[in-house]
Amino acid sequence: MNFQNLIVERKSNILIVKINRPSKYNALNDATITELGILFDEINGDDSVSVVILTGEGDKAFVAGADISELNKMDVISGRKLSEKGQAVFDKIENLDKPVIAAVNGYALGGGCELAMACHIRLASENAVFGQPEVNLGIIPGYGGTQRLARLINPGRAAEYILTGDSISAPEAEKLGLVNHVYPQSDLMPKAEEMANKIAGKAKIAVGLALKAVIATKETPQKEGERLEAGYFSLCCGTEDFKEGTNAFLEKRKAEFKGK
């Protein structure tokens, strides 16, 4: 499908998705949220894609938030719909059957910070700026930000950033554990692709099940999570890639996984 607000580029089994509204700092208007939902529905279950990298077009912004010119027209009813729609699309990203790496290449404010937090791994450029500045607009984060930030860092720090609207520099985000690594901007995409290729080279079924188990920690008490883990572990033991991986180790050669 052709998208108006997304650039989708395939590099072998890595899909690079760019939010493409650079003149508006890639602000998420309704059309972009709709397109993200359609795209992530298409990617889910697509065996030809192993890893997705999500980034913003240009060198200024990942996503500078929901589109404030659209927000400005919201009322109580349409505001709820907007929030629920965005949450549903971001949940699709978080629950995708393959990893999504956010390559945060500039401002990641409001909906942009929330979008990055819906991804599984966050890498950032040195000029990245995170934050939930919604209180400055008289609203609160509506695309899962209150929930994901409090779980990703800690509730006290999350409350501070959400209540003050203060932004978080890339080094601070790294210290908080909000991003995994910070790179000079020119290194960000090569590093994201390097990580994506590394993951794509592993046993695909194991990667998918490991991701599901890690994501389950958000909703699941530890004992139940361990039961899930045992189930996924045993599924891996039935795969050809498990045989190949363990045989390759014992035969002192590199494993050649088939994703089966």
Candidates 12, 69, 164, 247: give the one binding ligand COA (CB under 6 A).
Answer: 69
For residue 54, state whether it binds ligand COA (rule: CB under 6 A): no
The answer to whether residue 9 is catalytic is no
Selected from 15, 16, 17, 25, the binder of ligand COA by CB under 6 A is: 25
CB 121 within 8 A of CB 195: yes
193 flagged as catalytic: no
Of positions 5, 6, 24, 195, contacts ligand COA by CB under 6 A: 24
Q: Which is nearer to ligand COA, 37 or 79 (CB)?
A: 79
CB 80 within 8 A of CB 32: no
**Binding of residue 148 to ligand COA (CB under 6 A):** no
Tell me: does residue 145 bind ligand COA (CB under 6 A): no
Of positions 56, 86, 99, 110, contacts ligand COA by CB under 6 A: 110
CB of 111 to ligand COA, least distance (A): 6
Is 143 one of the binding residues for ligand COA (CB under 6 A)? no
Task: Compute the least distance from the CB of residue 214 to ligand COA, in Å.
Answer: 28
Contacting residue, 64, 115, 123, 209, with ligand COA by CB under 6 A: 64
Query: Interface with ligand COA includes 35 (CB under 6 A)?
Result: no
Q: Is 166 or 240 the residue whose CB approaches ligand COA more closely?
A: 166
Applying CB under 6 A, which residues contact ligand COA? 24-25, 27, 64-69, 107, 109-111, 133-134, 137
